[in-house]
Amino acid sequence: MFLQPKKIKYKKLRKGTLPKLEYKSVYLNFGIFGLKAAESGTITAKQIEAARQAINRKLNRKGKIWIRIYPNYPITKKPIEVRMGKGKGSVNYWAAKIGGGTMLFEICGVSKDKAVSAFNSGSAKLPIKTVILE
């Protein structure tokens, strides 16, 4: 199952705006190498899981991976061929709103070339531009 919150205060949220830049989670806190967002956007839980699996495959399950983002934002959708009105649709999937500069993944315990190739394959699964830090 994909990442999603166990309990939330409100079932549906308004769209809101994307954060332009992030100032808090911009540094490496756990690992030696990191994958950082170069632009803002929304990343779904499926995309986070796909990137995590791609990174794990390249690392051959060695080293330690930290996921620094969490999809806590519900995205709603109305069913196909439903007329306008009649309220907001039900929750379809969960996403994370990402500001530019946010640290997405961190790795330690592997060599530099292995970490770079793992992050390159993981970033291909994400809808935003990313930068690899060391």
Residues in Cβ contact with 123 at an 8 Å cutoff, skipping those fewer than 6 apart: 35, 51, 130, 132
For residue 25, pLDDT beyond 90: no
> Which helix (H) or strand (E) is 76 found in, with range?
strand 73-77
Q: What is the mean pLDDT of the chain?
A: 93
For residue 1, pLDDT beyond 80: no
For residue 74, pLDDT beyond 90: yes
Across the range 33-55, mean pLDDT stands at 95
Name the band, by pLDDT with cuts 50, 70 and 90, for residue 22.
Answer: confident
* Contact between residue 116 and residue 26 where contact means Cβ atoms under 8 Å apart: no
pTM tops 0.95: no
Percent of the chain exceeding pLDDT 90 equals 85
What fold is seen in the domain 33-78+90-133?
Answer: Aldehyde Oxidoreductase; domain 3 (3.90.1170)
